[in-house]
Structure 1
Amino acid sequence: MTIIIILITVLISWQAFNNPELKSKLMFLPSAIKDRGEYYRFLTHGFVHGDFQHLLFNMYALYIFGQTAESIFSSYLFGPTFGKLAYLVFYCVAIVAASVPDYLRHQDNRMYASLGASGGVAAMLWPYIMLGPWNWFIFPPLPAILLGIGYILYSHYADKQGRGNIGHNAHLWGAIFGLVTYSVLLLSLQPELMQYFLEQLMQPKGPNF
């Protein structure tokens, strides 16, 4: 399912690179949602990107984190058949949920627009982190749990600073959605996995590249 999502996103984004009208039709425009009821934009903006670098970064992150989340959904939470569908729903709802705060903030701002899968990708961090909280990344050289916490704190800080054209607020709320929703799923369906995460959290370890 992760590969299918990536292929669909690449295809739509590639088409939008060469078709400004398509990009404009799919991107997140809070004023268009409020004025014209184009609610589909809450989701479709996650399948278009500003440029190739933006697309590559998001799809690489989705490939790394999404496959772990998909495996957990299929193997432990919902079973091999329904798990893939549940994983798809989790990803799509994360895209929508990450956009709601920006909609509330910018619904009367006709100049505001955003696009990209970052909100959905940010939600995928937490299944990966909670499976191995002390697994180290090569770059940045941090254990997963500190990267996850740092990602939320930095996104909040960067959003308050309001610099650049990066949707830090979507990153923030995508990550929060992923943490809260995934934790609820574990506690409801597989509390043993939550217990495993807590046990691992109490056993920090150094890098093993």
Structure 2
Amino acid sequence: MTRLLAALVLCAASLHALAQPYPAKPIKLVVGYPPGGSGDFLSRLAADELGKELGVPVVVENKPGAAGNIAHEFVARSSPDGYTVLNAAPMAVNRALYQHLTYDPDKDFAAVTRIATGPTLVCVNNSVPVKDLRELIAYAKQNPGKLFHASAGAGSAPHLAAVLFESVAGVKFTHVQFKGGGPATQSLLAGDTQVNFATAPTVMGFVRAGRIRALAVSSGHASPAVPGIPGAEEAGLPGYDFTFWFGLFVPAGTPAAASRRPTCATKSRCREWMRRPRRRPRRSTPRSRGRPAIGRSWCATPARRWIDLPPVTQWLLVANVAIYLLEGTGMLPAEAFALWPPGGFESRFEPWQLVTYSFLHANTAHIFFNMLALYMFGGEIERLFGSRFYTQYYFAAVISAALCHLVVTALLGAPQVPMVGASGGIYGLLLAYGIYFPHRRVILLFPPIPMPARVFVFGFAAIELLLGITQTAAGVAHFAHLGGMLGGWLMIQYRRRGFPFRM
């Protein structure tokens, strides 16, 4: 009888708990960094605002270490009741940085909303003899490995921003890890480290006080969140673009109602903050994205960046493969495009036919080269330009190659050669890669010699010019390739300065 009564009491208590509206008790907001950094600052800001909106206390709990992995594991193993929330930067990249994660970034968490996003700042200690980004790059090249850069840990936003900077600029720093942005900034102030790719909320007070110098923001152009500091492209480093974000997560299996309330509360508070500019977070943009499907997409994007190709590059690769297979089986004879007048490869083409034929025709050597170049260079350029401008850029190079081909054949009286348009588009991509990623290492197949992308691309251009001059009939194709580079160069000037023509 006693056991029966105890069971009934337990069931009644459980039903009462289930009937309680969420939230019914304080919420714990866990952050993987110590006080003093942007993660802690944004967590306390979010806790204050969410507490006002939800009507219960939201308590921040710091669990620093291992670039946030200690906090990630703690929340992943917590009860999925909505009362333990994680504030974290991108977790998906940790798969590439740590061999043995004790949690799965995709399966162990449910994304609630993103609360802030912004660029990092390239900061230096006042003792470093540089005044701008160009001087920093030159100084780092003269002193490889002698500049120490502080980060909030392996995989943190400052660390990833520094790694990308090293890759694009062709320099090398010595990495010094700390448990968070606050200790990293203190080391920069003390002069123990010389460079810090810091999140803006962590260092803007010291920048305004003149204790450290901010040379640029890590986005391509200046950010309205940090006025007066140039963007990386404007400061002399095109191709460098890095932003960080922080988002709220709950353990997988958390009821939808428990994750929906923080989402709605965050969106409501963000709208109010955007109406009151003076109260925006220090140099970060409040941001809320609340639908679960969208949350999963922005969580996974950093991990997919170097795996998945952007859409236009994918379509170009598919088109090249499909046309190669159709030609190989005889279902798409090359002569089908030689419509005016008939005669196959040596016929004279109308300009529109030449562009179409040049884009579609392929043979084994060209299909391999085109696919390899698209895979190696096209995806990076599309991520840099965006799909729309990338499409315009590619076809501008195709058309420029075809027009250059027409002019050269008219001047030399040589027969027209197919394939120049598609190859011209590829050469346009090579030029963009050499300009925007000049220090990336590229390996030639024969012989396998690694070299900077700038040397690779402009060496290619010199070879094309030499072959074009020494060969009359076949040389028109080499001039067409240079025409593709010319078209790409004009488009880059348009993107940088805005020529007086419209797309």
1:73 to 2:390 alignment: no
1:93 to 2:405 alignment: no
Equivalent residue, structure 2, for 1:144: 453
Aligned-residue offset at 1:13: 2.6
Question: Structure 2: which 5+ residue stretches go unaligned?
Answer: 1-311, 339-344
Question: Structure 1: which 5+ residue stretches go unaligned?
Answer: 75-83, 190-209
- The two structures, once aligned, show a CA RMSD in angstroms of 2.8
CA distance in 2, matches of 1:164, 1:106: 8
CA distance in 2, matches of 1:72, 1:57: 22
Aligned length: 175
Identity value in percent? 21
CA distance in 2, matches of 1:19, 1:110: 28
Equivalent residue, structure 2, for 1:5: 316
Asked if the contact 1:123–1:175 (Cα under 8 Å) also holds between the matched residues in 2, the reply is yes
Aligned-residue offset at 1:163: 7.3
TM-score under structure 1 length normalisation: 0.71
Aligned-residue offset at 1:97: 0.7
1:180 to 2:496 alignment: no
TM-score under structure 2 length normalisation: 0.32
What CA deviation, in whole Å up to 9, does each residue of 1:130-158 have, x standing for no partner? 33212222224321112222222211111
Larger deviation, residues 58-67 vs 143-152: 143-152
Aligned-residue offset at 1:30: 6.8
Alignment of 1:116-155 (within 5 A): 117-139=422-444, 140-155=449-464
What CA deviation, in whole Å up to 9, does each residue of 1:137-187 have, x standing for no partner? 222432111222222221111101117957211221112222232133123
Relative to structure 1, the CA distance from residue 137 to residue 126 in structure 2 (aligned partners, 3 Å threshold; closer, same or farther) is same
Larger deviation, residues 147-156 vs 61-70: 147-156
Letter paired with 1:112: Q
Q: Which among 454, 458, 469 is matched to residue 160 of structure 1? A: 469
Q: Which among 353, 357, 364 is matched to residue 40 of structure 1? A: 353
CA distance in 1, matches of 2:417, 2:432: 29
Equivalent residue, structure 2, for 1:194: none
Asked if the contact 2:401–2:481 (Cα under 8 Å) also holds between the matched residues in 1, the reply is yes
Larger deviation, residues 14-23 vs 139-148: 14-23
CA distance in 2, matches of 1:164, 1:129: 29
CA distance in 2, matches of 1:21, 1:146: 38
Asked if the contact 1:133–1:144 (Cα under 8 Å) also holds between the matched residues in 2, the reply is yes
Larger deviation, residues 139-148 vs 160-169: 160-169
Letter paired with 2:401: A
Letter paired with 2:366: H
Aligned-residue offset at 1:7: 0.2
Larger deviation, residues 93-102 vs 22-31: 22-31
CA distance in 2, matches of 1:123, 1:143: 17
SS at the partner of 2:468?
A: helix
Equivalent residue, structure 1, for 2:137: none
Equivalent residue, structure 2, for 1:18: 329
Letter paired with 1:48: H
SS at the partner of 1:40?
A: helix
What CA deviation, in whole Å up to 9, does each residue of 1:20-72 have, x standing for no partner? 86312337867231xxxx623213312221x2232111111111111111101
CA distance in 2, matches of 1:29, 1:90: 29
Asked if the contact 1:125–1:178 (Cα under 8 Å) also holds between the matched residues in 2, the reply is no
CA distance in 2, matches of 1:29, 1:20: 21
| Higher helix proportion (structure 1 or 2) | 1
Relative to structure 1, the CA distance from residue 109 to residue 14 in structure 2 (aligned partners, 3 Å threshold; closer, same or farther) is farther
Relative contact order, higher structure (CA 8 A, sep 6+):
1
CA distance in 1, matches of 2:347, 2:492: 27
Alignment of 1:53-68 (within 5 A): 53-68=365-380
SS at the partner of 2:440?
A: coil
| Higher strand proportion (structure 1 or 2) | 2
CA distance in 2, matches of 1:138, 1:172: 21
CA distance in 2, matches of 1:86, 1:26: 28
CA distance in 2, matches of 1:188, 1:135: 27
Aligned-residue offset at 1:109: 5.3
Relative to structure 1, the CA distance from residue 172 to residue 112 in structure 2 (aligned partners, 3 Å threshold; closer, same or farther) is same
Asked if the contact 1:31–1:106 (Cα under 8 Å) also holds between the matched residues in 2, the reply is no
SS at the partner of 1:114?
A: coil
SS at the partner of 1:102?
A: helix
